[in-house]
């Protein structure tokens, strides 16, 4: 069975709006960079990264339900919202996600990574999958 391209709506975009939910169920929207994993030929998962103690990281840790939509760099929504699930990942898959992000946002991300080395703030990778 061929995998479906659940994230086809994001083809050609550089940003997505990640809506994660507070404990009181209020959604918070944040524009983020993302990279699609196309290893199966279609986008079956997306990766984003953030500071480990950011609000969106805390909200994803508490509740993996998210909504995503293509947006511009300022967060203006450019497409339909899609229900998804998000989780923090580590190890080889996090490295793979970061490599995809590095490739997509060359050279800007590498410049930001250089300066991030001087910060004590840890970064995490978030994997986004279609809602089941």
| Structure confidence by residue, pLDDT tens digits, 39-57 | 888 888 999 999 999 999 9
10-30 pLDDT tens trace: 999 999 999 999 999 999 999
- pTM (predicted TM-score): 0.89
Q: Residue 115: which pLDDT band, with cuts at 50, 70 and 90?
A: low
The encoded tokens of residue 79 equal 């497409």
Q: What is the pLDDT of residue 105?
A: 87
Residue 2 has pLDDT above 60, yes or no: no
Mean per-residue pLDDT for 77-94? 97
- Taking the CA atoms of 42, 18, 74 and 119 in sequence, report the sign of the dihedral they define: negative
Of the chain, the end-to-end C-alpha distance in Å amounts to 17
For residue 69, say if its preceding peptide bond is cis, omega within 30 degrees of 0: no
pLDDT of residue 128: 98
Q: Which domains does the chain have, with CATH numbers?
A: 8-130 (2.30.110.10)
Closest to 78 (Cα-Cα) out of 20, 15, 5, 120: 15
Instruction: Report the pLDDT averaged over residues 79-101.
Output: 96
Report pLDDT for 78.
Answer: 97
């Amino acid at each position: 069975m061929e995998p479906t391209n659940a994230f086809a709506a994001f083809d050609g975009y550089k940003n997505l709006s990640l809506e994660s939910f507070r404990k009181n169920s209020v959604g918070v929207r944040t524009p983020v960079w993302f990279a699609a994993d196309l290893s199966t030929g279609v986008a079956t998962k997306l990766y984003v990264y953030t500071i480990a103690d950011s609000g969106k990281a805390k909200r994803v840790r508490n509740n993996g339900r998210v909504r995503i939509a293509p947006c511009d760099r300022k967060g203006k929504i450019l497409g339909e919202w899609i229900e998804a699930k998000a989780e923090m990942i580590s190890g080889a898959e996090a490295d793979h996600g970061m490599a995809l992000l590095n490739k997509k946002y060359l050279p800007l991300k590498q410049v930001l990574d250089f300066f991030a080395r001087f910060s004590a703030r840890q970064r995490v990778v978030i994997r986004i999958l279609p809602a089941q």
